[in-house]
């Protein structure tokens, strides 16, 4: 099996998303979508990523713009679209996100080259006119490249569970079950896992607890 890092090492060289060649998206609210992330800080909801169907050129899906995030103010009931810069993640679906103290943490997902296990953060408290993405180089052994996983917050830690992606190259606690249909649909077979990983947001260090 090919090294998953070979498949993902050129994230930054991904071509610009092709969404500009499709229909004009509405300006006052986000486009309908699937596979996006939507997180809240108690006052606002942040929506990023995902894909939608392009009906103007046949019925097939395309990723939505990666450099914008939609913010819904739950007090006023209004949407605002914010452009982002910095280490902007590739256009993806199935990523996992959470918002803590108005900082959006984003992990994993599936993009044009497959799954990834990279970790990003976006500080919505910034006074800059354009919000900045930061790709965080974490310590420790990260989760395998995957999407469709869950996350929750406990104190200063983010706890990630499960997901669908490539077979882990390194040691991982837990089980992995291959999806037989993936052998025919892609070059690298994928499957489901029940792995648990913990990320300390103070040291940005990964750990994997023993579960039973």
- Closest residue by Cα to residue 205 from 164, 169, 161, 156: 156
Q: Which domains does the chain have, with CATH numbers?
A: 4-8+15-207 (2.120.10.80)
Q: How far is CA 152 from CA 86, 105, 108, in A?
A: 26, 11, 15
Comparing CA positions, the residue from 172, 175, 177 lying closest to residue 143 is: 172
Provide the greatest CA pair distance for the chain.
52
Dig out the tokens for 115 from the structure: 């799954």
pLDDT at 84: 97
Q: Which residues of 70-97 are buried (b: 16+ CB within 10 A; e: fewer)?
A: bbbeeeeeebebeebeebbbbbbbbbbb
Phi-psi region of 183 (alpha: psi -120 to 50; beta: other; left: phi over 0): alpha
Cross-strand bridge partners of residue 98: 105
Q: Along the 212 residues of the chain, how does pLDDT read in single tens digits?
A: 333 333 334 344 444 334 433 334 456 899 999 999 999 999 999 999 999 987 665 656 789 999 999 999 999 999 999 999 999 999 999 999 999 999 999 999 999 889 999 999 999 988 778 999 999 999 999 999 999 999 999 999 999 999 999 988 877 888 988 887 776 666 678 999 999 999 999 999 999 999 88
């Amino acid at each position: 099996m090919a090294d998953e890092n070979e498949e993902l090492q050129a994230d930054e060289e991904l071509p610009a998303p092709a969404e500009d060649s499709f229909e004009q998206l509405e300006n006052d609210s986000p486009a309908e979508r699937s596979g996006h992330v939507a997180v809240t800080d108690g006052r606002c909801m942040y929506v990023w990523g995902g894909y939608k169907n392009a009906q103007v050129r046949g019925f097939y899906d395309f990723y939505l713009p990666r450099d914008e995030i939609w913010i819904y103010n739950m007090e006023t009931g209004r949407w605002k679209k914010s452009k982002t810069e910095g280490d902007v993640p590739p256009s993806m679906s199935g990523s996992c996100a959470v918002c803590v103290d108005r900082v959006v943490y984003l992990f994993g997902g599936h993009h044009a080259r497959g799954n990834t296990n990279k970790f990003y953060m976006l500080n919505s408290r910034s006074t800059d006119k354009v919000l900045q993405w930061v790709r965080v180089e974490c310590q420790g052994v990260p989760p395998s490249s995957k999407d469709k996983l869950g996350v929750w917050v406990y104190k200063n830690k983010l706890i990630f569970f499960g997901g669908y992606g490539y077979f882990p190259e390194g040691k991982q606690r837990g089980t992995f079950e291959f999806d037989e249909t993936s052998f025919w649909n892609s070059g690298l077979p994928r499957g489901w896992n029940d792995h648990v990983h913990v990320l300390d947001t103070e040291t940005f260090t990964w750990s994997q607890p023993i579960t039973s």
